[in-house]
Amino acid sequence: MRKIVLFALLSILFANCQSDDSEQGNADNSKSSIAFTLNNKTEYVTATDVSGSAIDVTWAKSESTNTAENEYSIYGSFIIKSPASNDNRDSGDMYFQIVTSDAKLTAGKTYDISFSYLNSGVRDIPLAYDQAVCYTSTDLFEGTRTAGKIKITSFDGTTLKAEFSVDNLTNKNPYSDFGFCNGSRITEKSFSISKGTLTAVAE
């Protein structure tokens, strides 16, 4: 009888270890990615390092003293989708937040995005500047009319998959005035992100 009980306990322990290993293995093998289109024209995809591996797209939950509000931050790196754009020196990044009363992000639910910035150092890809005027790195920010949405397609507490879009981003820096580029004053313009998809892993 003791042998039977011991065997049963060992079987349960072994099954639990296998389950833990499997979950950890899924987390380790999760490949982060991001892709989106800017102004329905320029496509951006996940940046890669020199070995060809994807640079992580990550998420993190902020600790808050306000228990009714939870903040999830998402960060991702990207390059323009082009056969020639495999150089990280030309990569950019974006950062935005989801603020919700939900204790955990819910698959199938759409949340508002609080957008912080989109920075692009991609050469010869004008975002905020006219193509005929300047080819420089640019930043896009959230303006008074900016509206962003993200739909969670799956979330297991480690890997977050979602679709997102942002309307009415602006090249106007909230902390400084527009400057000049090649003798011409830079003007305010509106930009939108569409067809956005991401797979982010926990930091």
Residues 104 and 74 in one domain: yes
Q: Angle at the Cα of 10 (from 4 to 13), degrees rounded to 5?
A: 145
What's the pLDDT score for residue 67?
Answer: 66
Residues 15 and 71 in one domain: no
Residues 26 and 36 in one domain: no
Q: Is the pLDDT of residue 88 over 80?
A: no
The segment with the largest mean pLDDT, out of 7-11, 49-53, 104-108, 137-141, is 104-108
Find the domain containing 118 and state its range: 32-202
Residues 123 and 37 in one domain: yes
What is the three-state SS of 158-203?
Answer: CEEEEEEEEEEEECCCCCCCCCEECCEECCCCEEEEEEEEEEEEEC
Residues 42 and 63 in one domain: yes
Number of domains within the chain = 2
Residues 82 and 166 in one domain: yes
Residues 48 and 23 in one domain: no
For the chain, the C-alpha Rg in angstroms (whole number) is: 22
Helix (H, G, I), strand (E, B) or coil at 7: helix
What's the pLDDT score for residue 186?
Answer: 75
Q: Is the pLDDT of residue 29 over 50?
A: no
Q: What percent of the chain has pLDDT over 90?
A: 33
CA 51, 54, 55, 58 dihedral sign is negative
Residues 62 and 115 in one domain: yes
Residues 94 and 25 in one domain: no
pLDDT tens sequence across 104-120: 899 999 999 998 888 86
What's the pLDDT score for residue 56?
Answer: 80
The one-character DSSP state at 16 is H
Residues 135 and 103 in one domain: yes
Q: Which residue has the higher pLDDT, 148 or 3?
A: 148
Residues 120 and 156 in one domain: yes
Residues 81 and 165 in one domain: yes
